[in-house]
Amino acid sequence: MSLQFRGSVISTERENGTSMMAEDTIIFRYPKEEITSKSIIFVQPNELAVVVIQGQVQAVLPPGTHNVQSPQNPLSSFLSRFRYNALPFDTIVFYTSTTRHEIRIVGVSQTQDLVPLEYEIAVYYRVTDPSKLVFNVQFGNNVFKDADLGRYISPMIDQEVSSIINYVRLSDIFKKLGDVSNAVLASLKAFLSEIGIELISVRVIRLLPQDDELRRVIQLRDLGVDVEKAIRLYLAGSLASKNDPASVNMALGIPYYPNLSTLVNLPDNLIKVNLRGNEDRENTENSNK
């Protein structure tokens, strides 16, 4: 999967025709620094190429074919200014994606009444200033992906989400979805613009109790069932999953009196004798009265 020079063409394409710029890739660093003055830098329609020479951005190349020696190329003016016959060894080309990207941030916070909630926030964005982004992120390998940016901004999102739901009771939490989105949007928009990213929108995908049992009870309550009946229906479902015959009675709210043979492993004739003896004893007591 290694990239190699195909003649003197520098691009994000592999030898088999596929691209290193996957749908979740924001930045791709071309792994070769020996870029000669005869090189041609090819930029795809959904990319921009940032050329860094000796630690400084010398050009941001738009989509198209760029000949380093062409007079209109900003790199050729760099060569003529310093009288280089070839680009220096420390020339790096960063390819940045210009398409819309999406990040899903998942975390846990809690309400005012100390109920743990799981949240999922979708962040939609695009790169608008690739040179600023290249100099504001760090990555160990040759790619910087959506997941890397997600780890970069997740603490800020967690802080904004908690600043809203920590002061709201569980019964009112779903009324605050708009406030959560607005708080995250306002905080991220200013922060991402500083690193060359335009924030398009923020959406709350999921905001539910972490406990599955409480989650099901709330779902039944929101369907119009009172809390007591909702709890009873949840317990009935749990009993039904274990093939317990008491599940129907639990759902109806009727006491359940099981057959003794289902509780103790006794012979049927012994149970019948025991029941008959109890009946005779009750008749004798009634006659004495």
The domains found in the chain, sorted by start residue, are 9-97 (no CATH), 101-210 (3.30.479.30), 215-282 (no CATH)
What's the pLDDT at 14? 80
Band the pLDDT of 194: cuts 50, 70, 90: very high
Q: What is the mean pLDDT of the chain?
A: 80
Rounded to the nearest 5 degrees, what angle is found at the Cα of 52, between the Cα atoms of 49 and 57?
Answer: 90
- The pLDDT assigned to 37 comes to 66
Reported confidence tier of residue 78, pLDDT bands at 50, 70, 90 = low
Mean of the pLDDT values across residues 130-138?
90
At residue 264, the pLDDT reads: 53
Minimum mean pLDDT range among 114-128, 174-188, 193-207, 223-237: 223-237
Poorest-pLDDT segment among 127-131, 240-244, 261-265: 261-265
> The pTM is what?
0.72
Residue 191 has pLDDT above 60, yes or no: yes
- Is 271's pLDDT higher than 70? no
Confidence at residue 212, expressed as pLDDT on a 0 to 100 scale: 75
